[in-house]
């Protein structure tokens, strides 16, 4: 909009990207690794105890496994932020995590037109036919 520009030729100022400090991410990663180890030990003990009593509770095992999977997902996000790909970015320039629906910086809805990533090109189309 022309109302917000000082000069018609001057581009809009860049919005700085908001990223967590790497030290904060590393601390969170360490805490998550400790929590993951603890959950895995508990899961192993729970499995052995269920085996001893011959009383399997699939719902309890699924719940505990889901906790470990959730921790693994967050660890993958942190690893991607710390060491990951710099290719996936929003139009505003902020790094976008895989699977995100909104930009963490500007709040834009992420669809095929708002990402600058050649790997996320939607040119791959499945051939028509029966899918199993």
Q: Give the residue extent of every domain in the chain.
A: 21-84, 86-122
pLDDT of residue 109: 87
The three-state secondary structure class of 32 is: helix
pTM of the model: 0.52
Closest CA to 91 of 60, 67, 115, 61: 115
CA nearest neighbour of 35 among 76, 67, 5, 1: 67
Query: How many whole angstroms separate alpha carbon 116 and alpha carbon 15?
Result: 16
The encoded tokens of residue 37 equal: 């180890």
At 87 the pLDDT is: 53
Instruction: Give how far Cα 71 sits from Cα of 11, 15, 59, Å.
Output: 42, 31, 19
Helix (H, G, I), strand (E, B) or coil at 102: strand
Q: Which residues of the chain are under the pLDDT cut of 50? A: 1, 117-126
Q: Count other C-beta atoms under 10 Å from residue 60's C-beta.
A: 12
Amino acid 99: pLDDT: 67
The confidence score (pLDDT) of residue 38 equals: 96
């Amino acid at each position: 909009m022309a109302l917000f520009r000082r000069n018609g030729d001057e581009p809009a100022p860049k919005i700085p990207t908001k990223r967590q400090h790497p030290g904060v991410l590393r601390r969170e990663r360490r805490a998550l690794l400790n929590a993951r180890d603890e959950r895995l030990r508990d899961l192993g003990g729970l499995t052995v105890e269920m085996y001893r009593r011959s009383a399997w509770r699939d719902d309890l095992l699924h719940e505990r496994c889901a906790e470990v999977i959730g921790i693994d997902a967050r660890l993958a996000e942190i690893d991607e932020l710390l060491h990951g790909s710099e290719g996936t970015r929003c139009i505003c320039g902020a790094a976008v995590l895989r699977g995100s629906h909104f930009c963490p910086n500007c709040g834009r809805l992420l669809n095929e037109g708002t990402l600058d990533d050649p790997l996320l090109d939607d040119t791959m189309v499945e051939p028509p036919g029966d899918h199993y």
